[in-house]
Structure 1
Amino acid sequence: MAICAGCNNAILDRYVFHVLEKAWHASCIQCADCKELLSETCFTRNGLILCRKDFARRYGTRCAGCNMGLDRNDLVRRARDKVFHVQCFQCTICQKKLDTGEQLYILNGNRFVCKHDYLTNPGKSYFSFSFQN
Structure 2
Amino acid sequence: MVNPGGSSQPPPVGTGSLSWKRCAGCGGKIADRFLLYTMDSYWHSRCLKCSCCQAQLGEIGTSCYTKSGMILCRNDYIRLFGNSGACSACGQSIPASELVMRAQGNVYHLKCFTCSTCRNRLVPGDRFHYINGSLFCEHDRPTALINGHLSSLQTNPLLPDQKAVDCYTLRVTLDDELKHRQTLGLALSGESLDLIV
Q: Structure 1 length as normaliser, TM-score?
A: 0.49
Bigger fraction of residues in strand? 2
